[in-house]
């Protein structure tokens, strides 16, 4: 057996070294990607879901025959100032001092139609305005909640019921939602 000439031996060694370095770099990159993906997965598993605003999932569903029954004259500290409509399409307004609450809603023909109303409002406002992403509330509804300097907005559906509630401030919305049963 003959030994290869020194030039050829050096060339083979260089190729082997390049192969080893490139393989090592690729292996480090692959391991880094795997660690990153696993980290993202673990982070998602440990992430606690945002609580539903104003505990809307645990509120009772309306059992009324007329839309006017949804909105009593007073929901302390708020006084109803306006009401129009029927179950398929209603609107109401409440006031307490400088705080004004405007409500519109409906008893939709289906759960999907009620959820669709939430999506329509969220789409009209656009992604840039979303303070909280639209999320399904289990299987019976959806919600969209955002607060700006001009108003606080809560839009939600529960089964076939859809409510859009606009308030002059987040504090006013919180006060109203503590009195509003649905």
List, for residues 113-151, the tens digit of each pLDDT value.
Answer: 998 898 898 888 765 444 455 555 556 788 888 888 889
Which of the four pLDDT bands, split at 50, 70 and 90, describes residue 38?
Answer: confident
Q: Answer whether 122's CB lies under 8 Å from 133's CB.
A: no
CA 90/CA 162 separation, integer angstroms = 10
CA 5/CA 34 separation, integer angstroms = 43
List, for residues 68-99, the tens digit of each pLDDT value.
Answer: 999 999 999 999 999 999 999 999 999 999 99
Report phi then psi at 29, rounded to 5. -65, -45
Residue 130 has a pLDDT of 47
Nearest partner of 88 among 61, 60, 117, judged by Cα: 117
More confident of the two residues 57 and 152: 152
CA–CA–CA angle 110, 114, 119 (5° rounding) = 135
Mean pLDDT of the chain: 85
- Total-model pTM: 0.69
Q: Answer whether 122's CB lies under 8 Å from 130's CB.
A: yes
Which segment, 8-12, 24-28, 47-51, 123-127, is predicted with the most confidence on average? 24-28
Residue 139 has a pLDDT of 63
SS3 call for 34? helix
In the predicted structure, residue 43 carries a pLDDT above the cut 70: no
Mean pLDDT of 97-118: 94
Residue 85 contacts by C-beta under 8 Å, 6 or more apart in sequence?
Answer: 67, 91
Q: Answer whether 159's CB lies under 8 Å from 111's CB.
A: yes
Domain regions of the chain by residue span: 1-47, 54-179
CA 127/CA 104 separation, integer angstroms = 22
In the predicted structure, residue 37 carries a pLDDT above the cut 90: no
Neighbours of 16 (CB within 10 A): 10
CA atoms within 13 A on the CB side of 127: 0
CA 10/CA 145 separation, integer angstroms = 69
CATH topology of domain 54-179: Protein Transport Mog1p; Chain A (3.40.1000)
The Cα-based distances of 171 to 27, 63, 101, 134 in angstroms read 55, 28, 11, 21
Residue 15 has a pLDDT of 81
Which of the four pLDDT bands, split at 50, 70 and 90, describes residue 57?
Answer: confident
**Residue in the block written with tokens 């299987």:** 139
In the predicted structure, residue 35 carries a pLDDT above the cut 50: yes
């Amino acid at each position: 057996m003959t030994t290869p000439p020194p030039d050829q031996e050096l060339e083979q060694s260089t190729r082997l070294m390049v192969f080893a370095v490139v393989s090592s770099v690729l292996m480090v990159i692959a391991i880094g990607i795997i660690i990153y993906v696993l980290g993202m997965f673990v982070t998602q598993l440990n992430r606690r879901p945002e609580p539903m605003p104003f505990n809307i999932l645990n509120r009772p569903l309306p059992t009324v025959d007329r839309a006017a029954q949804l909105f009593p004259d007073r929901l302390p500290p708020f006084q109803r100032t306006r009401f129009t409509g029927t179950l398929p399409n209603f609107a109401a307004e409440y006031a307490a001092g400088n705080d004004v609450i405007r409500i519109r809603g409906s008893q939709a023909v289906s759960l999907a139609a009620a959820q669709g109303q939430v999506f329509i409002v969220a789409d009209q406002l656009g992604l840039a305005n979303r303070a909280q992403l639209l999320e399904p509330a289990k299987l019976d509804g959806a919600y969209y909640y955002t607060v700006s300097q001009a108003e606080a907005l809560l839009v939600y559906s529960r089964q076939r019921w859809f409510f859009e509630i606009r308030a002059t401030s987040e504090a006013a919305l919180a006060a109203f939602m503590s009195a509003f049963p649905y």
